[in-house]
Amino acid sequence: MDQLTSIASQRAWSRARRAAGERISFVPTMGALHEGHLSLVRRARQDAKRVVVSIYVNPTQFDNPEDLSAYPVTLAADLALLEKEGVDAVFLPTTSEMYPNGYCTFVEVVGPLTDKMCAIARPGHFRGVATVVTKLFTIVEPDSAVFGQKDLQQVLIISRMTGDLALPVEVLVSPTLRDPDGLAMSSRNRRLNPEMRAKALSLPFGLEQANRAFKQGERTAVKLEELLYNELLVHPGVDVDYATIVELPGFNEPEFANDQCILAAAVFVDGVRLIDHIHLGGQSLTVAQA
Ligand code: PAF
């Protein structure tokens, strides 16, 4: 597995593979890898002969400096996992490489995708994501790139941006993986002790309660959102950032839900921010406890 730290070396690596007629699939990450990331790597492997993974904790997508400094870094373990998966190259840029002195160019997606949910809760977050992903695409020059469905708003924004800018990259979406207790896999889960984890389970549990009510005929969006709030707010230390029903693909907030809708939420569990969503009317979630 090649490890590349400069833009020039990664670009040269990718161009040599493409010149040899090899397709490249790319998985951008911020490290602290878990099975969810590895499922993205496997999806990439199905798509292309060569798989490139980037590990870079992108500072421009953190609205809160404490969140950035608390972000877990587990580089040696990450590299061992990627080596085992047969990844061909890992791009490990430094911040001075990605954002050299005087840097002042950003990519911003505007409209319904970025006027609600995480975009409001984390001002500037998606601008940072769109900027770094665009830059990573221009460095790695992949044929495809794989993103997790758990970060649904992120992947919709990246798809929109890729289409709008005519970037020659196919955006692939891989399903959310859950631990056996029902919690969606996330690098942030490492920060949960057993007590916090028990509280965090109220998120998938509440989503499932709303899903069940939807399947039983409840359609009023605020009532479905309320069912989730009710599950979350009984736990001291759980604060709701948002719990919102949005309709796909337009990302509008309907008064009445239908089977094109998702219920999405972000919560803080003793200060650790977690996100999750469920497709209303879709597959039920099994949650160990709440
Ligand atoms: O989902 C993530 O880990 C990040 O937002 C991404 C896409 C790697 C950009 O920094």
Q: Is residue 88 part of a domain?
A: yes
Q: Nearest C-alpha to atom 3 of ligand 1 is from which residue? A: 29
pLDDT at 88 over 90: yes
Q: Is residue 51 part of a domain?
A: yes
**Does residue 60 have its Cβ closer than 6 Å to ligand 1?**
no
Of 110, 143, 174, the domain-final residue: 174
CATH number of the CATH domain containing 53: 3.40.50.620
Q: Is residue 71 part of a domain?
A: yes
Q: 3-class SS at 243? A: strand
Q: Is residue 34 part of a domain?
A: yes
- β-pairing, 238-247 vs 89-91, is unpaired
Q: Which of 179, 2, 217, 213 is nearest to 89 (CA)?
A: 2
> Does residue 191 sit in the same domain as residue 58?
no
**HEC readout, 145-162:** EEEECCCHHHHHHHHHHH
> Does residue 116 sit in the same domain as residue 205?
no
Range of the domain at 232: 187-279
**Does residue 132 have its Cβ closer than 6 Å to ligand 1?**
yes
Token pair, residue 28, equals 């951008």
Distance from residue 129's CA to the centre of ligand 1 (Å): 6
Burial class (CB in 10 A: 0-12, 13-18, 19+), 146: buried
Of 174, 198, 220, the domain-final residue: 174
> Does residue 164 sit in the same domain as residue 217?
no
pLDDT at 289 over 80: no
State mean pLDDT over 47-69.
95
**Does residue 129 have its Cβ closer than 6 Å to ligand 1?**
yes
> Does residue 130 sit in the same domain as residue 217?
no
Say how many C-beta atoms besides its own lie within 10 A of residue 125's C-beta.
Answer: 21
CATH number of the CATH domain containing 242: 3.30.1300.10
**Does residue 152 have its Cβ closer than 6 Å to ligand 1?**
no
Query: What are the beta bridge partners of residue 142?
Result: none
> Does residue 61 sit in the same domain as residue 31?
yes
> Does residue 142 sit in the same domain as residue 75?
yes
- Cα-to-chain-centroid distance, residue 215: 27
pTM of this structure: 0.95
Length of the chain measured in residues? 290
Of 174, 196, 213, the domain-final residue: 174
Q: 3-class SS at 209? A: helix
Q: Is residue 288 part of a domain?
A: no
Token pair, residue 271, equals 């200060």
> Does residue 201 sit in the same domain as residue 148?
no
Q: Is residue 15 part of a domain?
A: yes
Give the contacts of 268 (CB within 8 A, at least 6 positions apart).
238, 239, 241, 274
> Does residue 138 sit in the same domain as residue 257?
no
Return the residue matching tokens 């359609």: 219
125 is catalytic: no
Identified catalytic residue from 34, 37, 125, 277 = 37
Distance from residue 188's CA to the centre of ligand 1 (Å): 13
State the pLDDT at residue 290. 56
State the pLDDT at residue 96. 97
> Does residue 160 sit in the same domain as residue 21?
yes
Q: Is residue 215 part of a domain?
A: yes
Return the residue matching tokens 């490990």: 92
> Does residue 224 sit in the same domain as residue 267?
yes
Q: Is residue 96 part of a domain?
A: yes
Q: Which of 263, 254, 253 is nearest to 204 (CA)?
A: 263
> Does residue 199 sit in the same domain as residue 145?
no
Q: Nearest C-alpha to atom 6 of ligand 1 is from which residue? A: 29
pLDDT at 70 over 90: no
How many domains, the chain?
A: 2
**Does residue 133 have its Cβ closer than 6 Å to ligand 1?**
yes
d(C-alpha 162, C-alpha 26), whole Å = 14
Token pair, residue 204, equals 């998938």
Ligand 1 atom nearest the C-alpha of 187 is 3
Task: List pLDDT tens digits, range 108-157.
Answer: 999 999 999 999 999 999 999 999 999 999 999 999 999 999 999 999 99
d(C-alpha 142, C-alpha 242), whole Å = 34
> Does residue 202 sit in the same domain as residue 149?
no
Q: For all residues of the chain together, what is the average pLDDT?
A: 97
**Does residue 30 have its Cβ closer than 6 Å to ligand 1?**
yes
E strands in the chain? 2-4, 24-29, 50-55, 89-91, 144-148, 170-174, 238-247, 261-269, 272-279
Q: Nearest C-alpha to atom 9 of ligand 1 is from which residue? A: 129
